[in-house]
């Protein structure tokens, strides 16, 4: 059973990450820092990654944003910490597929699967994706719209 099969559980996850955002802090100068802003929402966040070779040693974010972008950044940082660059980019691709209503391995997204209903409100898709785009950029990948 996927998280997206239980709407109440999805709301609980989102509410928890909105009230108690994880990894919302500034990293030091050893982090790769990327600034991301939205033209259509209040989202203005910095995504910061500290690598150890090909492994994401730490991942944090700070700034302001709507509830969807903040919860997404929070969940994303927890999901990607400890992953390799390649694994993180595969998960970013999977999240993009989720947002585009394409078939994907939702279970691999763990708590990030709670955003499965976001595409029903197309204006919120960019809010959910802003942190993920920041990760792509920080990892040196071109950002796709």
Give me the residues paired with residue 113 across strands.
Answer: none
Q: Are 22 and 13 in contact (CB under 8 A)?
A: no
User: pTM for this structure?
Assistant: 0.94
The separation between CA 127 and the C-alpha centre of its own chain, rounded to angstroms, equals 10
The separation between CA 43 and the C-alpha centre of its own chain, rounded to angstroms, equals 13
Cα dihedral 124, 129, 133, 135 sign: positive
What pLDDT tens digit does each residue of the chain (145 aa) get?
577 778 899 999 999 999 999 999 999 999 999 999 998 899 999 999 999 999 999 999 999 999 999 999 999 999 999 999 999 999 999 999 999 999 999 999 999 999 999 999 999 999 999 999 999 999 998 776 5
Ramachandran class of 24: left when φ > 0, alpha when ψ lies in -120 to 50, beta otherwise: beta
């Amino acid at each position: 059973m996927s998280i997206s099969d239980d709407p109440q559980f999805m709301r609980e996850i989102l509410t928890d990450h909105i009230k108690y955002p994880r990894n919302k802090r500034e990293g030091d100068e050893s982090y790769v820092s990327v600034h991301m802003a939205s033209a259509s929402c209040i989202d203005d966040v910095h995504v910061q990654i500290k690598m150890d070779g090909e492994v994401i040693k730490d991942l944090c974010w700070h700034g302001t944003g709507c509830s969807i972008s903040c919860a997404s950044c929070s969940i994303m940082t927890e999901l990607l910490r400890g992953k390799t660059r390649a694994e993180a980019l595969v998960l970013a691709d999977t999240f993009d597929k989720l947002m585009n209503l394409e078939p994907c391995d939702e279970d691999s997204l763990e708590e990030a699967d709670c955003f499965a209903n976001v595409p029903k409100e197309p204006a919120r898709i960019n809010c959910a994706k802003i942190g993920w785009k920041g990760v792509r950029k920080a990892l040196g990948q071109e950002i796709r719209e």
